Structure 1
Amino acid sequence: MSATAEAATHLYPLITDLGLILVTAGVAVLLFRKIKQPLVLGYLIAGFLAGNHFDFFPSVTDMHSVEVWAEIGVIFLLFSLGLEFSFKKLVKVGGTASITAVTQITTMLLLGYTVGNLMDWRKMDSIFLGVMLAISSTTIIVKTFEELGVKAQKFAQNVIGALIVQDLLAILMMVLLSTIAVSQQFSGNELLMSVLKLSFFLIIWFVGGIFFVPTLLKRAKNLLTDEMMLIISIALCLLMVTLAANVGFSPALGAFIMGSIIAETTQAEHIEHLVKPVKDLFGAVFFVSVGMLIDPASLAEHWLPIVVLTLLTILGQSLSSTIGALLSGQPLKQSVQTGMSLSQIGEFSFIIATLGMTLKVTSDFLYPVIVAVSAITTFTTPFMVKASVPVSEFLERKLPRKWRKQIERYSANAQSIKSVSNWQIVLRAYFMQVVIHSVIIVAMILLSAQYILPMVEGTRFGRLLAAAGTLIAVAPFLWALSLRRVAVEQVRQLLSERKYRGPIFMMILFRFILTLVYIGFLLDNFFSSQTAFITFVAAIVLYLIFPKKLNAQYHKIENHFLKNFNARDILKDKRRRSDLTPWDGHMSFFDIAKESNIGGKMLKELKLREKFGINIAFIKRGEINIKMPSRNERIFPGDEVCVIGTDQQLKQFQDYLDHHEAAPAEHLAEDDIVLQQIDLTHPEFIGKSIRESQLREKTNGLVVGLERKGKRILNPESHEILEQDDILWIVGDKKLLATLKQ
């Protein structure tokens, strides 16, 4: 009984503290939603008031428990960030975003470190300060863009791309900071080894994750309820968190990697939707806990550094990002808009500050100072975005005409330089071939030597069987490393010129020699030197005897990986374009913008069919789906509409929406709405018009195509009379259409 009482006493502060955090967070949400300010700022202020520094407010009693909740919050924040990340997005952002982000981060790192030294801070404080000032806030910027309605503008896409690059670089810098903090010195060798170690594990985790995770989710899809999907997603996240921690990386890195892996699956949007409430819950706990660590006395004591760092963040981020955008070839106006949008710090700065405290390498005052700077710059972000256009116009008026002409000329030239030489393509392909396959081969050998060999050690043929099994497993990758052809057309063109033949043959020879080195490395881990040499010769002979089988096996593995990697894009294209190929008609999706002046009007008022010849298949309004809306249905701002028509009709409709301030969207159709072909043979429908046949009511759908004796009609009129052997194309409820066909 006493043990139960003791457990209850131990549990009580945990529950009350969590309750206090959530109550303050809830009040902050309501208040800051009302005054239209970022919720993160509300969480910070709520935590500030709920901390131990105010006697007239309830305070938490067990800060250790709060820190545990906060660490869980960081994990889910990074997991959600990974779900939105996707390595394909990183590839698509191109040079513009990369140059902008790298210029900004490099500049702010140097400025932060320099200012820290000028204020006589410790070297480690200055290093962490530079990193914290270098990363802008994705959460704040995206929310600000949505509230100001500028998310569809071109500069906003540049900003989002720069944020994607920043997120990846922030993960890298967290790993490097951990290395520096442990060694307390700037050893170039250690930093290089940390980068190589990170790259090694990133490739292994990503390749292995893409190979196995989408397959697992796909095969279990029919068995998984939303509850089970949520549990499995969180389990995968925590599994990667554990793996990352065991190899010496931060748990946040593991969460981010698993999120980015799941982002490539067909269930990514669904999982993101399921995880969002969990992320919001623990994210709120994290931000409130950050606010709790703000000490008013420390803020009063360090008011001058707060002011200096706030100005440094706003001005430094704006200028460095603007310069980066200009260097990438963006026009002056878009560059200024990009730079002034990135003028704040946010969640990653908190995470890095938490890392410094956890490693006990930063001073106590640095955390509240950074939080204060973040709070101020969060508040100023909307004003900076709004002021970017007037500032750009002012600069265009005041800058010397010669400078403006040079900027315009440079931008035009940069935009026109899109061609990539054959050498660049070949070198990139060879580099990817060597690095990825080398990492896979080395990882498989080391895993086998560490985990499989000890299991068979001591048996008569244990080592031989372990080595043979490992060699068979890595053989397809050894074949791909040495003999697989890449960039075939570009290599052929280069070989046609004599001066390039030598370098090409040297690259091929290097790959073959590297393959032999890995075979020797494998055997050396399992046998003595003499035995390894004999086995090495045998392995080479077998390797050369079965090239076709190795080729087939490798391509089977590669095709499985590519199928998983591209499954989300394939499904998106398939659902986004349900083709009516005889008529060149298809489904497309559009968002009705909040500012659209067609909002609130009935479909019969808009006369979309009469104007453009299109049909609206369904309207998605929040969590409600209005299938096959009637003529009396209204369209409201924020709705998503699924439209059926030809390319030309849909383009006209998009122009119509653009004229009324609407933006196109790329969302997926609902699974229970399908497009099917039906042969009309039942006498019940013959001789009746489409309206009289009540096909709309029977299928909860629309007749969007009619084929009669070779004549095709897209979106036929409702008074069209149905005849024997007509072929109808109907979009509607899957189950009802199946019943109709029967």
Structure 2
Amino acid sequence: MPGVAFIQDLAVILIVAAAAGWLCRRSGLSPVVGYLAAGALVGPHTPPLTLVAGSERVAAAAQLGLVFLMFSIGLRLSWRRIRRLGFSLLLGTIGGAVMMYYVGRLLGAAMGWTTIESVFFASMLMVSSSTIVGRLVQDSEAMHERAGQLAAGFSLLEAVVAVVMLTVLNSWVHLDNAARPEIGSTLARLGGFIALAAVLGLLLLPWLLRRLGRVASEDLQTLGTAGLLLGGAAVAYQAGYSLALGPFLLGAVVADTPHRAQVERTFDTLRDVFAPVFFVAIGMQVDLRDIGGAWWLVLGISLLTIVARVGTSAVALALTGTPVRDALRAGFILTPIGEFSFIIAQLGLAAAVLRASFYPLVIGIALVTGAVAPWLTRRSAKLADRLLRYQRPWVLDWLQVYHAWLRRLHFRGRLEKLWKVSRKRFWQIGIEVLFVTGLLLFSQQLLGAVQNWLGTDWLFPNGPEVIFWVALSLVVLAPVVAIWRNLSALALVYTQVLTARGERAVSARPLLETALKAVGGGALFFWLAAVLPAEGTARMLLLASAVVALLGLLLLRRRLVYWHSRLEVELQTAVEISDVSEGGGMTEWIEEHGTWRLHIAECTVPDLAECRGQAIAELGVRQRFGCSVVGIDRQGFFISLPEATTVLYPRDRLLLLGTRRQVRAGKEFLLRTSGTAPSLDGIEAVRMETMMVAADSPVVGLSLAALRLARRHGVQIAGIHRGRLRTLNPPATEVLTAGDELLALGTAEQLDEFRTALAPLALEDGK
């Protein structure tokens, strides 16, 4: 049976992935290296160890793993996090990617490869593996150091660069191989798609998740979110983009909502299961003999890649204001390539623009860089210090002067105030332009979906088409009018600033304002002319619909302005609310703290930890090891500076502060597990039973507070039936009398113990 064969193949993949990941963890390597090697060993190219032969079935599971992997990467990258990472890190990421791209192009030219082969190869090397880098930063306990946060943020922003490159390369392979893609139109189309998905997602997803949270159970919420996730991947593929784009965008949108922690907690398990399947499937597609036959080429290019990635990343970060030592440390962490490089290689092979030898080459480079990366990460501080000792003093002096100049390079006086006033309007114009661009560029696909759903002659001949264009015109006109209003406001503001001095300048104010509005209006006209659909009668029908919509706009102007304002408020609320719920992120580093020798590390309390259920004071972590618990992340809720009476529970993420030796000893103590399992009597074991108080029972005449039933027996009195009176949830001052019928709450053992306590002389015996 095909289904049984798929289950067998998936079982083999998961078992070998678990074994390879465990071995790599024990040896200090990245688990991704083990997944790739395990896939190559059990795949169809390595007889007699060929344990998995159904490559088509495994490829389907790999696509599912790719979806969950991209979704998890998107969850870590949101608009708020980009703002916290800072514009300088964004510039550094772009600069490092561009430099690495040209290094790859030069290497391809030196190898005698064709232009398109060099472009694909350079694209494979220009982005690091977010999966490997994130794990390296966590395992090396560098997440709370400047270098670790720089590397993690740099890697996440490189994912955006990879998405852009995938789009450009995808447009290239669909053209003639000799032709070059139109970068401007390709990026505009991608920007429109992203803006369209982001705006619709921020408007609809929070509302949908709130509704699911109210009317559906948690399992139904998971099913609904999973359906949206897979549907997003299908929509991106149907729009002509990589399957990875949809989950990545959906994850980034969910990350900007208050439901991020819940969704992330739900899908972490699915990611942990299917992401290794993706890497194992990648390894299954390569023959280890091909890598071994070109071992010298793999090692040589891997060495060049490591040196180039360290150099380009460090230079880019240093040029954007990062101290040289931290820039070098981050560069050493950013050496491994991974998932995006594999996707780019698969795109080139599927389009037949790359030779088959490129695939084992990129897998070999990923294996080498992934194997070396943990060693480089652990020794990044020593390697950076050693490189700085050999650096020329004048270079370091020049960098210090340059960094001081960057710190002074801020807006001053009127320009600073002008930027603060106009910044929000520029962002609104940009988002609205991209949103309208996405609507118009993908209008034909949207119309096709509507016609497939309703038919071509619904209500009247060509009814869906006419209704669609009229509705689209109404939807587009509102943001277009908002763009014009923002342009007019900017023209007024800039006119006031530019003509603030001098009588002649003041007299020229109306002319300058009109000129600025004319420039803005002309740009608006040419932009709309460029993005309006021109296929068949679409343009004429859209223009006619625009006239009808314009009349509707005049009649419903106030209502449309109100709706548009509500949409803006909803978007801002969706982004701002979740700022409170998400911890972590990049913080401003004001001054170095290395001389204090203090270190911050994380650890998660295991399910069977010996410390579970005990207060921090009882554990004595600070007295015994010298480190302090300075934070607890409990189910997405952060407890800052917990009190000594705070009890630790399984799955708590603890933040420890101390020297490296103190933190390491504290982690070993907190991570100890016991051989005894916790009590299985959970909520499902709690029940209620009725019991009678006999006349000679020792509890007669005593209050509930004096009996201390909860402390002695773990039982709660939920109700008392006395004569014709029933008392629910009686107070602690209630006194028990003979003949009372008690409704007791507890487990079976607790209730049996309490029943025994009601018997004569039981209270005296228990004293």
- Is the structural similarity TM-score above 0.5? yes
Match of 1:481 in 2: 483
CA RMSD of aligned residues (A): 4.6
User: Given the superposition, is the C-alpha separation of residues 165 and 532 from structure 1 closer, same or farther in structure 2, using an over 3 Å criterion?
Assistant: closer
Q: Secondary structure at the match of 1:220?
A: helix
Match of 2:678 in 1: none
Match of 1:558 in 2: 568
Q: Secondary structure at the match of 1:85?
A: coil
Distance (Å, rounded) in 2 between the aligned partners of 1:377 and 1:198? 31
User: Within 5 A, what are the aligned runs for 1:332-343?
Assistant: 332-343=324-335
Match of 1:114 in 2: 106
Q: CA deviation at 1:622?
A: 8.9
TM-score by length of 1: 0.73
User: Within 5 A, what are the aligned runs for 1:29-40?
Assistant: 29-40=21-32
Greater Rg, structure 1 or structure 2? 2
Distance (Å, rounded) in 2 between the aligned partners of 1:189 and 1:528? 25
User: Given the superposition, is the C-alpha separation of residues 97 and 457 from structure 1 closer, same or farther in structure 2, using an over 3 Å criterion?
Assistant: same
- Is contact 1:595–1:661 with CA below 8 Å preserved after alignment? no
- Asked if 1:209 is matched to 2:201, the reply is yes
- Aligned AA for 2:432? H
Match of 1:145 in 2: 137
Q: CA deviation at 1:213?
A: 1.2
Q: CA deviation at 1:228?
A: 1.6
- Asked if 1:375 is matched to 2:370, the reply is no
User: Given the superposition, is the C-alpha separation of residues 78 and 572 from structure 1 closer, same or farther in structure 2, using an over 3 Å criterion?
Assistant: closer
1:436 to 393, 417, 431: 431
- Aligned AA for 2:482? A
- Asked if 1:508 is matched to 2:517, the reply is yes
- Asked if 1:81 is matched to 2:64, the reply is no
Distance (Å, rounded) in 2 between the aligned partners of 1:693 and 1:496? 82
- Aligned AA for 2:124? M
User: Within 5 A, what are the aligned runs for 1:527-676?
Assistant: 543=553, 547-571=557-581, 593=602, 603-604=616-617, 639-640=652-653
The answer to which structure, 1 or 2, has the higher relative contact order (CA under 8 A, 6+ apart) is 2
- Asked if 1:68 is matched to 2:60, the reply is yes
User: Given the superposition, is the C-alpha separation of residues 449 and 408 from structure 1 closer, same or farther in structure 2, using an over 3 Å criterion?
Assistant: same
- Is contact 1:592–1:637 with CA below 8 Å preserved after alignment? no
- Is contact 1:179–1:191 with CA below 8 Å preserved after alignment? no
- Asked if 1:129 is matched to 2:117, the reply is no
- Asked if 1:249 is matched to 2:241, the reply is yes
User: Within 5 A, what are the aligned runs for 1:307-318?
Assistant: 307-318=299-310
- Is contact 1:51–1:60 with CA below 8 Å preserved after alignment? yes
- Asked if 1:197 is matched to 2:189, the reply is yes
Q: CA deviation at 1:632?
A: 8.0
- Is contact 1:592–1:638 with CA below 8 Å preserved after alignment? no
- Aligned AA for 1:341? I
- Is contact 2:603–2:654 with CA below 8 Å preserved after alignment? no
Distance (Å, rounded) in 2 between the aligned partners of 1:263 and 1:145? 21
- Asked if 1:51 is matched to 2:38, the reply is no
User: Given the superposition, is the C-alpha separation of residues 221 and 186 from structure 1 closer, same or farther in structure 2, using an over 3 Å criterion?
Assistant: farther
- Is contact 1:481–1:512 with CA below 8 Å preserved after alignment? no
- Asked if 1:363 is matched to 2:363, the reply is no
- Is contact 1:314–1:343 with CA below 8 Å preserved after alignment? yes
Identity percentage of aligned residues: 22
User: Given the superposition, is the C-alpha separation of residues 309 and 427 from structure 1 closer, same or farther in structure 2, using an over 3 Å criterion?
Assistant: farther
Q: CA deviation at 1:483?
A: 2.0
Distance (Å, rounded) in 2 between the aligned partners of 1:436 and 1:321? 30
- Is contact 2:236–2:243 with CA below 8 Å preserved after alignment? yes
- Aligned AA for 2:481? W
Deviates more, 1:202-211 or 1:122-131: 122-131
Distance (Å, rounded) in 2 between the aligned partners of 1:241 and 1:231? 16
Q: CA deviation at 1:556?
A: 1.6
- Aligned AA for 1:551? V
1:496 to 488, 496, 500: 500
Match of 1:179 in 2: 171
Q: Secondary structure at the match of 1:183?
A: coil
2:262 to 267, 270, 273: 270
Q: CA deviation at 1:67?
A: 1.7
Match of 1:105 in 2: 97
Distance (Å, rounded) in 2 between the aligned partners of 1:366 and 1:80? 28
- Aligned AA for 1:481? I
Output one character per residue of 1:596-620: Cα deviation in whole Å (capped at 9) or x when no partner. 9xx979644699999xxxxx99976
Distance (Å, rounded) in 1 between the aligned partners of 2:551 and 2:163? 44
User: Within 5 A, what are the aligned runs for 1:680-695?
Assistant: none
Q: CA deviation at 1:339?
A: 1.6
- Aligned AA for 1:437? E
- Is contact 2:470–2:548 with CA below 8 Å preserved after alignment? no
Distance (Å, rounded) in 1 between the aligned partners of 2:542 and 2:114? 53
Deviates more, 1:297-306 or 1:524-533: 524-533
Deviates more, 1:318-327 or 1:15-24: 15-24
- Is contact 2:69–2:271 with CA below 8 Å preserved after alignment? yes
- Is contact 2:600–2:658 with CA below 8 Å preserved after alignment? no
User: Given the superposition, is the C-alpha separation of residues 475 and 300 from structure 1 closer, same or farther in structure 2, using an over 3 Å criterion?
Assistant: closer
- Is contact 2:12–2:52 with CA below 8 Å preserved after alignment? yes
Distance (Å, rounded) in 2 between the aligned partners of 1:492 and 1:633? 58
User: Given the superposition, is the C-alpha separation of residues 276 and 537 from structure 1 closer, same or farther in structure 2, using an over 3 Å criterion?
Assistant: closer
Distance (Å, rounded) in 1 between the aligned partners of 2:163 and 2:430? 21
- Asked if 1:408 is matched to 2:393, the reply is no
- Aligned AA for 1:342? L
Output one character per residue of 1:508-538: Cα deviation in whole Å (capped at 9) or x when no partner. 3455567778999989999999999998777
Distance (Å, rounded) in 2 between the aligned partners of 1:532 and 1:174? 32
- Is contact 2:10–2:58 with CA below 8 Å preserved after alignment? yes
User: Given the superposition, is the C-alpha separation of residues 463 and 86 from structure 1 closer, same or farther in structure 2, using an over 3 Å criterion?
Assistant: closer
Match of 1:685 in 2: none
- Is contact 1:434–1:511 with CA below 8 Å preserved after alignment? no
Distance (Å, rounded) in 2 between the aligned partners of 1:186 and 1:101? 30
User: Given the superposition, is the C-alpha separation of residues 322 and 492 from structure 1 closer, same or farther in structure 2, using an over 3 Å criterion?
Assistant: same
Output one character per residue of 1:391-422: Cα deviation in whole Å (capped at 9) or x when no partner. 33234333332222111121222234343745
Q: Secondary structure at the match of 1:135?
A: coil
User: Given the superposition, is the C-alpha separation of residues 632 and 121 from structure 1 closer, same or farther in structure 2, using an over 3 Å criterion?
Assistant: same
Distance (Å, rounded) in 2 between the aligned partners of 1:119 and 1:328? 32
Distance (Å, rounded) in 2 between the aligned partners of 1:565 and 1:335? 30
Deviates more, 1:335-344 or 1:534-543: 534-543
User: Given the superposition, is the C-alpha separation of residues 465 and 339 from structure 1 closer, same or farther in structure 2, using an over 3 Å criterion?
Assistant: closer
Distance (Å, rounded) in 1 between the aligned partners of 2:515 and 2:66? 48
User: Within 5 A, what are the aligned runs for 1:257-336?
Assistant: 257-336=249-328
Distance (Å, rounded) in 2 between the aligned partners of 1:481 and 1:351? 38
User: Given the superposition, is the C-alpha separation of residues 457 and 200 from structure 1 closer, same or farther in structure 2, using an over 3 Å criterion?
Assistant: farther
Q: Secondary structure at the match of 1:251?
A: coil
Output one character per residue of 1:305-325: Cα deviation in whole Å (capped at 9) or x when no partner. 201211111100011111111
- Unaligned regions of 5+ residues in structure 1, if any? 1-7, 574-589, 611-615, 643-653, 664-690, 701-742
Distance (Å, rounded) in 2 between the aligned partners of 1:443 and 1:311? 42
User: Given the superposition, is the C-alpha separation of residues 514 and 527 from structure 1 closer, same or farther in structure 2, using an over 3 Å criterion?
Assistant: farther
User: Given the superposition, is the C-alpha separation of residues 630 and 77 from structure 1 closer, same or farther in structure 2, using an over 3 Å criterion?
Assistant: closer
User: Given the superposition, is the C-alpha separation of residues 211 and 602 from structure 1 closer, same or farther in structure 2, using an over 3 Å criterion?
Assistant: closer
